[in-house]
């Protein structure tokens, strides 16, 4: 099965396939041979973009991707990220000029390429001035080491600030934003997507299956599905948890809705993420060839207005169930920011 390259990456004008192959599993939960098979099968099926990060497998994912695409580099729009800590040294992390200039060279070496098509700040860095990050990335574009740059899980106010700073200082502004977006995680619709559309930023959405909640395995009355993610963050996936009860009910209702329309829940989930006009491409993370086939099939599913209205009745637009699902660490929601009187540092009544 093949898919059409019928989209553009924001204002860049770069043609991109509706699905982007995510490489987070490579070198972590997937052996290299199976990873390479999936990479080549995806490219053969019309997928044009691969997204990885230096922190995935502490560089192993980039190395696997680099070896797999060695003879097909010109066919791949290659994206990677910086920010996460590499090794034990806390200086090997963040969005500072000091780290970015080293991180990009390490990624180029691991990927076996002379340029990165899309270089992304994996998360905001509260300790680094945003202008420093933008200036450094602007310089890498002018040097030819990267073609475009973007952000990932940046709140709307920082996206606006980035474009304001770029305009003020004559810099190239961010081209993309990578955001979690799914039937169960719709917070981006409220503020992030309006900002990206205003500035022509291409959204590369990740998590269309909501970390497995939309795989079809999470059903009312069913057993707790086994999951490597659930083992790491059990509270986020525990179906018996009070905080997940509404989420489970929504996942079950969406599965029933998909069945009513002759779709699998995967079909519904991927097609929904692709349906939003702000979204340029959706990242998929297949662990098997069968998973890849199901994603490719889902890319062709069409959702009518009546079906989309039914989805909105199950999950309100612009909402999410758990703050953890947004991928953000929001400083204003930390206890020390909410409970100023408990630190003893603020004597105001």
279 strand-pairing partners: 203
Joined tokens for residue 220: 């009312």
| Active-site residue list | 56
C-beta of residue 270 within 8 angstroms of C-beta of residue 298: yes
27 close to 285: Cβ distance less than 8 angstroms: no
**Quick one: tokens of 150?**
């973007």
3-state secondary structure 147-180: EEEEEECCCHHHHHHHHHHHHHHCCCCCCEEEEE
Q: How far is CA 216 from CA 130, 269, 299, in A?
A: 40, 10, 17
**Nearest-angstrom CA–CA distance, 89 and 85:** 8
Structure-block tokens of residue 169: 């200082």
Q: How many CA atoms lie within 13 A of 157 on its CB side?
A: 1
202 with 259: CB under 8 angstroms? no
Provide the CB-side half-sphere exposure for 66 (13 A, CA). Answer: 19
Spatial distance between the Cα atoms of 40 and 19, rounded to a whole number of angstroms: 14
CA-based Rg of the chain, rounded to a whole angstrom? Answer: 20
Around 127, how many Cα atoms within 13 Å sit in the side-chain half-sphere?
Answer: 10
Collect all residues with Cβ–Cβ distance below 8 Å to 56 and sequence separation of at least 6: 23, 24, 26, 27, 28, 62
């Amino acid at each position: 099965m093949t898919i059409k390259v019928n989209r553009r990456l924001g204002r860049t004008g770069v043609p991109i396939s509706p699905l982007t192959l995510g490489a987070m599993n490579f070198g972590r939960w997937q052996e290299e041979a199976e990873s390479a098979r999936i990479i080549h099968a995806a490219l053969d099926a019309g997928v044009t973009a691969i997204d990885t990060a230096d922190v995935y497998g502490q560089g192993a994912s980039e190395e696997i991707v680099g070896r797999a695409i060695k003879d097909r580099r010109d066919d791949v729009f290659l994206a990677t990220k910086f920010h996460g800590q590499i090794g034990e040294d806390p200086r090997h992390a963040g969005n500072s000029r000091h780290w970015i200039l080293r991180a990009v060279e390490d990624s180029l070496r691991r990927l076996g390429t002379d340029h990165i098509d899309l270089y992304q700040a994996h998360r905001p860095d509260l300790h680094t001035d945003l202008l420093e990050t933008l200036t450094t990335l602007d310089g890498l574009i002018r040097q030819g080491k990267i073609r475009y740059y973007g952000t990932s899980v940046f709140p709307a106010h920082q996206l606006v600030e980035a474009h304001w700073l770029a305009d003020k200082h004559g810099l190239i502004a961010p081209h993309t934003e990578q955001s979690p977006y799914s039937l169960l995680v719709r917070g981006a619709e409220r503020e992030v997507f309006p900002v990206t559309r205003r500035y022509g930023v291409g959204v590369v959405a990740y998590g269309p299956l909501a970390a497995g909640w939309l795989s079809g395995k999470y059903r009312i009355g069913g057993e707790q599905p086994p999951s490597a993610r659930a083992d790491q963050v059990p509270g986020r996936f525990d179906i018996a948890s009070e905080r997940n009860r509404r989420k489970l009910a929504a996942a079950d209702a969406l599965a029933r809705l998909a069945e009513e329309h002759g779709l699998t829940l995967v079909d519904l989930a991927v097609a929904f993420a692709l349906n939003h006009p702000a979204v340029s491409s959706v990242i998929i993370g297949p662990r098997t060839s069968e998973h890849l086939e199901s994603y490719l099939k889902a890319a062709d599913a069409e959702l009518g207005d009546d079906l989309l209205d039914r989805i909105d009745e199950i999950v309100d637009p612009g909402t999410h169930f758990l703050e953890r699902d947004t991928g953000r660490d929001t400083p204003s929601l930390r206890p020390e920011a909410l409970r100023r009187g408990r630190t003893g540092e603020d004597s105001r009544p």
